[in-house]
Amino acid sequence: MKSLIEIKTELQSILVENIEGVFETAAQYLASDSRKRNELILLQARYNSLKKDKMRGVISNENVKLNLNRITSSLLEFISGLSEGDLKKVDPDPVLRKLSYTDRQGNQFLLHLNELEASGLKSQAEFLVKKLNKLQEALILESDPTRQLRYETQIEAAEQEWKKIMDRLKN
């Protein structure tokens, strides 16, 4: 999950281009019992009411701009007032997902994603598993000996990299 600062920055960036996107994105991050969820709902209701009034032609363009600026200002206050307590809680024990890869010797490697360090090992491992599986498929389908050798070399290098990641995870 993103940090509070990252969420605030994301919402501010969205607000510049797409006010409706702020409502959708903020709702994804807010806990259902958060006081900020109700505030967001009220702001969205104000915005939707303004849109309806504009479509019906019952409000002048000046008043539309004025009310839109007020809603935008309220959204900025809403964003800056967000706290950790307003966000959805992250499950401390997520369901374990496993990636598996079987090398040419028949050794099967299992990788529990929740064991990976935040320093990027997760994405490296996912990429390597996909790469190794694709290289194995390509090797099986390839009939040209030169290309087969190239695939085998790439597989060996990727397996070595995989083993290094596994060793780092064990430590």
Predicted local distance difference test score (pLDDT) of residue 93: 44
Residue 75 lies in a domain: yes
Residues 119 and 78 in one domain: no
Residues 47 and 10 in one domain: yes
Residue 145 lies in a domain: yes
Q: Which contacts (CB < 8 Å, 24+ apart) does range 48-57 have?
A: none
Structural domain boundaries, residue 126 = 98-170
Residue 18 lies in a domain: yes
Helix (H, G, I), strand (E, B) or coil at 18: coil
Predicted local distance difference test score (pLDDT) of residue 106: 67
Can you tell me the distance from the alpha carbon of 10 to that of 78, in angstroms, rounded to the nearest whole number?
A: 13
> pTM (2 decimals)?
0.53
Residues 74 and 124 in one domain: no
98 to each of 33, 53, 112, 114, 171, how far by Cα in Å? 33, 52, 5, 9, 19
Residues 81 and 102 in one domain: no
Choose the final residue of a domain: 53, 86, 119.
86
Residue 161 lies in a domain: yes
Residues 151 and 112 in one domain: yes
- At 110, the pLDDT band (50, 70, 90 cuts) reads low
- At 105, the pLDDT band (50, 70, 90 cuts) reads confident
Q: What is the DSSP string of 96-118?
A: P-EEEEE-TTS-EEEEEGGGS-T
Alpha helices in the chain (DSSP H): 4-17, 19-29, 35-56, 61-80, 121-141, 145-170
Q: Identify whether the C-beta of residue 128 lies closer than 8 Å to the C-beta of residue 109.
A: no
Residue 129 lies in a domain: yes
Report how many domains make up the chain.
Answer: 2
